Structure 1
């Protein structure tokens, strides 16, 4: 795991951990994993799953993932975009 991923994980974990300060690191990771619906061994838990759960855990299920939301365009014209990319449509 790259250094920036560790820093991001710790930054996201800090406010959640402040709520349950009596838990140790492994217990906190287990709690976040359970909230994400992960029931396997902690050795198989990915940093992506932890980061996603910590970012999106308190949002509604209909909330768009931030990484997708930044690129989302309402009513995007796929056909027009493909034609334009092929040089067929010069809008």
Structure 2
């Protein structure tokens, strides 16, 4: 895991973990994994799962995933023209 990923994970993890101070780190990570729907062993849990879950944890059910919102086009015709490189 690169240094910026570690920093991003810690920045996202810290305020959420403070909401459950009675849990140790592994218990809290297991709680996050369960919330995200991850069912495998913790040693196979990726940082991506934790990062995206922490980013979306307090958002609404229908909110767009960060990173995808910037590419969203409400107009289908515009989306097709951009995808074909006709407009920017």
Alpha-carbon distance change, 40 to 83 in structure 1, aligned in 2, over 3 angstroms? closer
Alignment: residue pair count: 84
Q: Which moved more, 1:40-49 or 1:52-61?
A: 52-61
Q: Which residue of 2 aligns with 1:18?
A: 18
Question: For 1:20-45, what per-residue CA distance to the aligned partner results, in whole angstroms no more than 9, with x for missing partners?
Answer: 11211111111110111112110110
Q: 1:32 & 1:43 partners in 2: Cα distance?
A: 14
Alpha-carbon distance change, 76 to 40 in structure 1, aligned in 2, over 3 angstroms? same
What RMSD over aligned residues (CA atoms) do the two structures have, in Å? 1.7
Which consecutive aligned stretches of 4+ in structure 1 deviate over 2 angstroms post-superposition? 80-85
Alpha-carbon distance change, 83 to 57 in structure 1, aligned in 2, over 3 angstroms? closer
Q: Which residue of 1 aligns with 2:70?
A: 70
Deviation of residue 76 (structure 1)?
4.0
Q: Which runs of 5+ in 2 are unaligned?
A: none
TM-score, structure 1 as length reference: 0.82
Helix, strand or coil at the partner of 1:67 = coil
Does the alignment pair 1:44 with 2:38? no
Deviation of residue 63 (structure 1)?
0.8
Q: Which runs of 5+ in 1 are unaligned?
A: 86-91
Q: Which residue of 2 aligns with 1:8?
A: 8
Deviation of residue 61 (structure 1)?
2.3
